Structure 1
Amino acid sequence: MLKRFIAVDWGTTRLRAYCCEFSAQGEVQLLASAAGPGVKKVQTSFPATLSAVIAPFIQQFGQLPVLMAGQISSSIGWFETDYLNCPVSPQAIKPAMVSVKVDELTLHITPGLRYQSADGQDDTMRGEELQLLGLLKRYPHYQQGQHLICLPGTHCKWVILDYGKVHWFKTAITGELFDIVIQHSILLPPLAALPTDDTSGFLEGCTRSLADSPESLVHSLFSVRTKQLFTQCNAATARNYLSGLLIGADIKTIMQSIETASCQNKPVVLIGTGQLQQAYANALAAAGKSSTLIAEQDVALAGFGFIAADQTNLV
């Protein structure tokens, strides 16, 4: 077993790097962490960005193998790896990894997952499969029965685990659409993109999207602007109203999907972090659904740990 390794979860909007060590009992322990820009936000090059982020790890512990997951292995990333077809066990990503030597670094990169519906519609994920693997290893009871998993982010993933296999999943570009609207539309002023502690308006947006009326999201979105024009709604409140509209619409679609019918009586497993995870929990509650919150970092490290364990070729 490797004693130490570097794990890199490199998504569309952010890079998260972890320097890890196995304990004597085989548990993954976090030695240090660092962050950097996502695949779409890299200003220099992928090699330079990675080197800068993990340099403190290497200075302290020497050269270590680097395990990478996420959009870095996609067509918009650094090295493109294959997709594994669903249904599939997340454990299958381990033997399908690709190893690449870059200067003095040895990179071990995970594949993605692909789901194709009965009518031929495709969906993909990269990075979330690593968290699903960690979920199954850290919480083995999710290997039994069917469970609906939600992984909020730039591209929110909804997944059905069926006895430990990824049976179905669907992507909503909720986070990316939110960023596009606040940065490139007339619905909100530029300052609305700034973080705020004001959470008013979110539930109102959720309630509107979750209503039984057949209103389309492309129609309700314009109410973000009209609320500011006629109801004394400030930009911060409108920003949260927009978030509620988008997340509520996402949840309503999933809850009405025939694919998720078998999981309706179980809590939704929410893998995430911070305000976004809590926002989905609040929106689910508004829809009458309970949720179980699980920390993204915990399952990510568990997934990387499973990949690193007993891998004598990771040098």
Structure 2
Amino acid sequence: MVGQPEERRFTSLEARIDAAAHGVLDRLPASGFLGGLTEFLVFGIKQAFACLFGGAMLALMLATKFYWPEGSGLARYDFLFLSAIAIQISLLVFKLETIAEAKVILIFHVVGTLMEIFKTSVGSWIYPEPSFFRIGGVPLFSGFMYAAVGSYLARVTRILDTRYSNYPPLIATLLLALAIYVNFFSHHYIIDLRYALFGLTAILFLRTTVHYRVFRFRHRMPLLVGFLLVALFIWFAENIGTWSRAWIYPSQHAGWTLVSVQKLGAWYLLMILSFVLVTLVHRPRAVAAPAAVAESTAVEISDAAVAGKGVGAR
């Protein structure tokens, strides 16, 4: 939003990491093949850093699939739930996540758990293992799977300093998000409106471009393409989750099979819902004018230098 006050891109620990990285990367060429390769690698590293919560949860799902002691006295699902809480606390304690982002994760947990309760009741998928921390047929760790999406979107928005051009009115995006959420329930009883929702999404965001900073340069991408790429990686993660039997679809009772590509559409819509919820904390900001960009860059360089001195002083 034009005129909105600037927010900090990094937490204090992230600022130290960024300053240390600049100490190494600034020595590399800024152009040519090496310059492009540096931007690409930094982009991958920042994406992975934004996925800390979700990546940790997937790693735990895989680890507990291969090794979970019989008769341990603690159900696997309960371990995943307690681990998710521990990860969340650690991110806050070590200043890898802001309080505002933690609030987003809580909202996602509630929204996701409500949908899980409904979806399992109608047989869309099941959780085949026992647990103590559960509501009906839904173990409470499941809500953190939705929270992981919210955590990623909130963190990547801040870490990549995203800006937007031609962003639609906030009220329109909120109404779209509400319609998407309602359709996840209502399509079991009335006509599925997902194709109409795809169309509305295209109308709202067709002209919207996301601008993001990787290392030295700002890049841009049509926001609809960004939505699709994120949904694709969520679908990959869902295949890992079902392979670990953290949850399974009816078609996977006899053995694991690839999650239907049709689920990609559902994740696309859910990801848009998640994105809109995140904008309530990190409001979409317009692309800055050239003079403002130069001033912002100078401030960031100064902040990085101060953080670097702090690291050296330790």
TM-score over 0.5 (shorter chain): no
Q: Which has the higher contact order (CA 8 A, sep 6+)?
A: 2
Q: Higher strand share goes to which structure? A: 1
TM-score by length of 1: 0.25
